[in-house]
A and B are shown apart, each in its own frame.
Chain A
Amino acid sequence: MLSFSRLKITLILGICVLGALLCLPNIVRAPAPWFPWRQVHLGLDLQGGSYLLLEVDTKAVLRERLEGLVDTTRRTLLAANIGYLRLAADPGQNRVTFHLRDPAQQDAALAALRTALGLGQASPPGQEEVSVAPEAAGEIALTLSPVAITERANAAITQSIEIVRRRIDETGVLDPQIARQGDDRINVQLPGISDPERIKALLGQTAKMTFHLLDAEANPAAGPAPPGVEFLPLVDQPASKLPVRKHVEVDGASLTDARAGQNPQTGDWVVDFTFDSAGARRFADITRANVGKPFAIVLDNKVISAPVIREPITGGRGQISGRFDAKTATDLALLLRAGALPAPLTVVEERSVGPELGADSIRAGAIALAVGFVLVIVFMAVFYGLFGWIANLALVVNLILMLAILSLLQATLTLPGMAGILLTLGMAVDANILINERIREEVKNGRTPLGALEAGFSRAYSTILDSNATALLAHVMLFVFGTGPVRGFAVTITVGIVTTLFTATLLARLIMVRWYAATRPALLPV
C-alpha cells in the first residue's frame, strides 16, 4: 500500500504536470492558429449573450403534405372522371379520405391514385410514403406511413436549422451556436447579443414568398371564395382583402438574391430581387401572358403588394415596393436571401444576460471562490496541521486538474459551474479528513507510524469510494435532466469528483509516503 514504484510516481507527477500544461490555453494565447488550443468557454450567463429555444411546428409540414395529397387526389379523380364526395384531409390520423359517388368505381379510383402517386404495385407495404386503401364501403383513405411522417419532420427540422443559421449569419452575429434539441426544438446561442428582439422577429417569420395572379371576377365583399381562390389581407391594410388565385406562379425559392434599396425617383424603400434561370423564364412567360393585369406578391399569406403588370419582365429581375422603411426593407431582403422556413417556428424560451451582469457575476463568483478557498485551506491547516497542508497542496492540484479536464472537454463555465468548483473544493478535503482521522485512530490504537499510515489509507479507501459514488450518481442525473447553466454545475462537480479521487487517494498518499521516507518520524503529527 505504501510502496510506490518508480513508474507509478512518474505517472502521478506526469498527470500533475500535464494538468498544469493543459490549463495554459486559458491564460496564454495560442502560439499558432492551427495549434490545438483547448480552453474553457464562458457560458452566456458570464460573458453576456442570448439563448433562444425554438420549436418547429412539424405538424404544419404534415398538414401541408396532406393538403398536397388532397390536391393530387382531386386532380386525379377529375381526370379519370370519377365522382367523389367529402374529400378532406384528416390531420389527426395523418390521412386523406373521400367517398365515391359510385362504389363500383372503387378499383378504378385505387388504380388511378396509385399511378398518380407513383406507387409501384410490387413494393411491399410500409415502404411507400402513402398507402391507398379502401376504408369502408365506397370510402378510400390515403394514409401517410409512420416512416414518411418521421422523415418529413426530420427533414423539416434539418432544413429549419439551416435557414435559422443563414438568417442569423446574415445579421452578423459572431459565433452563433445552433443545434437540434430533442424531437422538434432548436437551441440557439448568441454570444454577445443581449437584446435579441430583432433576431426573434426574424426567426418568427416563415418568409414564404409566392407570386400569384388575381381573380378578376371574385369579390371579397360578396360571399365565400370560389374554388381555387382565396381572399388574402394586405400587409398594410389588414381589413381589405384581395381575391388571390391559389395556384403559385413563381415561388420565392427561385430567388437567387434580394437587396434593399431606394427608388431613385421617389426615395421609397424597395426590395430588388433576382430569379434563377428557371424562375426568370417562368416569370417572363407569366408577365408576357398577363400584361395589363394585376398580380400579387404574397408573403406568409399576406399580400405585400399587387402591382399591375405594365410590360413583360424578361430579365429575371424585379422589385417589390410596399411602404417599406429602411429596416423593414432590409429585413425582408435578408429573409428572402436566407430562404423560407419549411414550417413555422415559435420562440418558446429566451434567456438573455447583458454584459454588465455577466461581468458582475464573474466578479461575484471569483470573490466567492477565493474566499471559500482560503477558508477551507485555513480550516485544514488549523485542524490537521502538516497533513492538512498536504491536503491543501492536493487541493491546489485538484483545482488545476479540474480546470485541465474542463479545458480538454472545452466545457462551458457557468455561474452555477463556479459554485460547483467551490463545493467540490469543500467536499474534496472530505477524503483527506477521512484518511487523517483514520490514521489518528490507528495511532491511538497503538500502531507504529508506518502501520497507521498504511491502515489509514487502506481502510478509508472504501469509504471514500462509496461516498463519492453516490454523489456522482446524483450529479450525473442532474446532467442528464438539467439544461443550461445547471448543466455546467453538474459537469464541474462530476469532473471534480473524479479529480478528487486522484488527488486525495494517490497524490496525497504519495506526498505523505515521501515525507515519511525522508523524515522517519517516531510520532505522526496527527
Chain B
Amino acid sequence: MFLRPSFRLVPDGTRIAFMRGRFLGLIVSALLSSLSVVLFFYPGLNLGIDFKGGIVIEARTPGAADFVKIRAALVGEHLAGAGVQRFGGPDDILIRLENPPSEAATQAAADRVRTALAQAFPGTKVMRVDAVGSSVSAELFRNGMLALAISLMMILAYIWFRFEWEFAVGAVVTLLLDITKTIGFLAVTRLPFDLVMVAAILTILGYSTNDKVVVYDRVRENLRKYKTMPLRALIDLSINETLNRTLGTSMTVFLASLPLALFGGSTLSAFAWTMLFGIIVGTSSSIFIAAPILLFLGEHRLRKDAHAPRPAKPTAARLKGGA
C-alpha cells in the first residue's frame, strides 16, 4: 500500500531563482545577527549555573507550596538572597541562589537550603541539587567556548580540504551568522545558557554544515557537469535539485526534536526548542546565505576556466538571470 511515495514536499523540476533574493537574504540575516549581538550585550544571556556558578534546587513539597513560609525558612538559614519560584505543578518549587562568595560557601549554602526545607516542610522531596563553584563554572564556560571555537575551525579546515576555499569561507561565515542568531534566540527567550545549550549549538552547527555540504556538493558536481553555465544559474539549479532533500532532512530532524521539546522535561525542552530554532535557521541559511556568499566569492574564480573560451557569455547570462 505504501509502495510509492504518497506525497512530495516540492514538485520535481522547480526553477526557483533563489539567487534573486540574495541581497534580501544577506541583509535580513545581517540585521538579525546584528540585533542578536546587541541582545547578547543587553539584556545578555541568561547564564545557567553551569557557567555562572551558584545553586539551583528543585523540590516537591507535600501539598501546595507555601512561598511565604519557604522564604521565611530560607531567611532563617541566612539565605535571604535566594530566589524561590514555582516550577511545573503547584507543589514544585525552584530555589536559586546566585554568586555565593566562595567555593565552600556554595556547598554550605546548598546544605543549608536542604536543612531549611526539611525543617519547614517535613516530607519535602529534594528532586535535584546543582551546586557549582565559581572555579568550576569558569572552567566549564571556557571549555564550552573552546569546543565551539575548535569545532568551527575544524569544519573550516575540513571543507577547505574537501572543496575550494570559497566554499569553506562561505560555510563558516554562514555558521557564524547561524550561531549569532541562536544566541539572540536564547537572549530573547531567556532559556538558560549552559552546557546542554552548548551541545545544542554544536548539534545545530553539525546539522547546518551538513546542509551546506549537500548544496555545495551539488554545486561542485554541476561545476564539472555544466562547464559554461554561469555560476548564478548554476547555484540556483543546484539548490533546486537538492530542495527535496534539504526540506526532507529538515523535516525529519524537526520531527525528531519536536517530541523532545513537548515532552522532554525541563532540561531537554530548552535544548529541543533551541534545536528547532536552529533547524529553521540552518536550513534557510543554506539557501539564502551560504549560496549567495559562494556566489559573491566565486563569481570570477570558480568559473574562470569557463570564461576563457567564451568571454562574452557571462555578461549576457547575468543580464538574462537578472531579468
| A residues with CB within 8 A of B | 53, 55, 194-195, 197, 200-201, 204, 346-354, 356-357, 360-361, 364-365, 367-369, 371-372, 375-376, 379-386, 388-389, 415-416, 418-419, 422-423, 425-427, 429-430, 433-434, 437, 440-441, 444, 459, 462-463, 466-475, 477-478, 480-486, 489-490, 493, 525-526
A348: chain B residues at CB < 8 Å are: 103, 107, 132-133, 135-136
B135: chain A residues at CB < 8 Å are: 55, 348
B252 touches A380 (CB 8 A): yes
CA distance A422 to B252 in the complex (A): 10
* Least CB separation from A367: chain B residue: B263
CA distance A266 to B4 in the complex (A): 89
CA distance A488 to B243 in the complex (A): 33
From known contacts A346-B104, A486-B195, infer whether A430 and B249 are also in contact, taking CB-CB under 8 Å.
yes
Instruction: Confirm or deny: B32 has a beta carbon within 8 angstroms of a beta carbon on chain A.
Output: no
CA distance A392 to B207 in the complex (A): 21
B191: chain A residues at CB < 8 Å are: none
A427 contact from B4, B140, B154, B252, Cβ within 8 A: B252
B263: chain A residues at CB < 8 Å are: 364, 367-368, 371
Minimal beta-carbon separation of A327 from chain B (angstroms): 14
Instruction: Confirm or deny: B224 has a beta carbon within 8 angstroms of a beta carbon on chain A.
Output: no
B133 touches A385 (CB 8 A): no
Additional pairs, 12, CB under 8 Å, beyond known A368-B263, A386-B2:
A55-B103, A348-B107, A350-B129, A356-B127, A365-B268, A367-B263, A372-B260, A462-B217, A473-B206, A480-B147, A482-B198, A483-B140
A419: chain B residues at CB < 8 Å are: 260, 264, 268, 271-272
A388 contact from B5, B103, B214, Cβ within 8 A: B5
From known contacts A365-B268, A429-B252, A481-B147, infer whether A470 and B213 are also in contact, taking CB-CB under 8 Å.
yes
Instruction: Confirm or deny: B28 has a beta carbon within 8 angstroms of a beta carbon on chain A.
Output: no
Within 8 A of A (CB), among B194-216: 195-196, 198-199, 202-203, 205-207, 209-211, 213-214
Minimal beta-carbon separation of A136 from chain B (angstroms): 37
B203 contact from A353, A459, A493, Cβ within 8 A: A493
From known contacts A383-B7, A437-B244, A462-B217, infer whether A427 and B2 are also in contact, taking CB-CB under 8 Å.
no
B114-132: contact bitstring with A at CB < 8 Å (1 yes, 0 no)?
A: 1000000000011111111
From known contacts A433-B245, A475-B206, infer whether A368 and B259 are also in contact, taking CB-CB under 8 Å.
yes
A490: chain B residues at CB < 8 Å are: 199
CA distance A106 to B159 in the complex (A): 67
From known contacts A350-B130, A416-B268, A473-B158, infer whether A437 and B255 are also in contact, taking CB-CB under 8 Å.
no
CA distance A405 to B284 in the complex (A): 35
Within 8 A of A (CB), among B137-177: 140, 143-144, 146-147, 150-151, 154-155, 158-159, 162
Q: Give the A-B contact count at a CB cut-off of 8 A.
A: 260
B265 touches A426 (CB 8 A): no
B6 touches A385 (CB 8 A): yes
Instruction: Confirm or deny: B275 has a beta carbon within 8 angstroms of a beta carbon on chain A.
Output: yes
B1-12: contact bitstring with A at CB < 8 Å (1 yes, 0 no)?
A: 011111111001
CA distance A380 to B249 in the complex (A): 10
A482 touches B255 (CB 8 A): no
A368: chain B residues at CB < 8 Å are: 259-260, 262-264, 268
Instruction: Confirm or deny: B253 has a beta carbon within 8 angstroms of a beta carbon on chain A.
Output: yes
From known contacts A415-B265, A427-B207, infer whether A347 and B255 are also in contact, taking CB-CB under 8 Å.
no
Instruction: Confirm or deny: B258 has a beta carbon within 8 angstroms of a beta carbon on chain A.
Output: yes
User: How would you classify the secondary structure of chain B's contact residues: helix, strand, loop or mixed?
Assistant: helix
A361 touches B265 (CB 8 A): yes
From known contacts A361-B265, A379-B252, A482-B198, infer whether A384 and B5 are also in contact, taking CB-CB under 8 Å.
yes
Minimal beta-carbon separation of B262 from chain A (angstroms): 8
CA distance A147 to B113 in the complex (A): 44
Instruction: Confirm or deny: B81 has a beta carbon within 8 angstroms of a beta carbon on chain A.
Output: no
CA distance A404 to B154 in the complex (A): 29
B209 touches A470 (CB 8 A): yes
Within 8 A of A (CB), among B214-229: 214, 217, 221
Q: Which of B58, B242, B260 has the most CB of A within 10 A?
A: B260
B144: chain A residues at CB < 8 Å are: 481-482
Instruction: Confirm or deny: B60 has a beta carbon within 8 angstroms of a beta carbon on chain A.
Output: yes
Minimal beta-carbon separation of B162 from chain A (angstroms): 6
CA distance A519 to B275 in the complex (A): 41
CA distance A168 to B132 in the complex (A): 21
B125 touches A434 (CB 8 A): no
CA distance A382 to B248 in the complex (A): 11
B130: chain A residues at CB < 8 Å are: 350-352
A477: chain B residues at CB < 8 Å are: 147, 150-151, 154, 202
* Least CB separation from A467: chain B residue: B210
Instruction: Confirm or deny: B241 has a beta carbon within 8 angstroms of a beta carbon on chain A.
Output: yes
Minimal beta-carbon separation of A440 from chain B (angstroms): 8
CA distance A353 to B207 in the complex (A): 31
CA distance A466 to B219 in the complex (A): 14
A200: chain B residues at CB < 8 Å are: 107, 111
CA distance A53 to B106 in the complex (A): 13
A425: chain B residues at CB < 8 Å are: 256
Instruction: Confirm or deny: B24 has a beta carbon within 8 angstroms of a beta carbon on chain A.
Output: no
B125 touches A376 (CB 8 A): no
B252 contact from A354, A430, A472, Cβ within 8 A: A430
A474 touches B151 (CB 8 A): yes
Instruction: Confirm or deny: B14 has a beta carbon within 8 angstroms of a beta carbon on chain A.
Output: no
* Least CB separation from B88: chain A residue: A360
A356 touches B151 (CB 8 A): no
B264: chain A residues at CB < 8 Å are: 364-365, 368, 419
A354 touches B2 (CB 8 A): no
A382: chain B residues at CB < 8 Å are: 2, 5-7
B256 touches A526 (CB 8 A): no
CA distance A356 to B60 in the complex (A): 10
CA distance A433 to B246 in the complex (A): 9
B107 touches A353 (CB 8 A): no
A485: chain B residues at CB < 8 Å are: 196
B5 contact from A367, A385, A463, A469, Cβ within 8 A: A385
A350: chain B residues at CB < 8 Å are: 107, 110, 129-131
- Give 15 A-B contacts (CB < 8 Å), ordered by A residue: A350-B131, A364-B265, A367-B263, A372-B258, A376-B255, A383-B6, A385-B5, A416-B199, A422-B260, A430-B245, A430-B252, A437-B245, A469-B158, A473-B154, A474-B154
From known contacts A364-B268, A379-B252, A386-B2, infer whether A357 and B199 are also in contact, taking CB-CB under 8 Å.
no
A480: chain B residues at CB < 8 Å are: 147
CA distance A489 to B200 in the complex (A): 10
A375 touches B259 (CB 8 A): yes
A201: chain B residues at CB < 8 Å are: 111
A462: chain B residues at CB < 8 Å are: 217
CA distance A351 to B255 in the complex (A): 31
B195 touches A525 (CB 8 A): no
A463 touches B213 (CB 8 A): yes
From known contacts A55-B135, A371-B263, A385-B4, infer whether A482 and B127 are also in contact, taking CB-CB under 8 Å.
no
B210 touches A383 (CB 8 A): no
Instruction: Confirm or deny: B85 has a beta carbon within 8 angstroms of a beta carbon on chain A.
Output: no
A466 touches B217 (CB 8 A): yes
Closest CB pairs A-B (n = 7)? A426-B256, A471-B206, A481-B147, A371-B259, A467-B210, A348-B133, A375-B255
From known contacts A423-B257, A481-B147, infer whether A385 and B2 are also in contact, taking CB-CB under 8 Å.
yes
CA distance A418 to B245 in the complex (A): 26
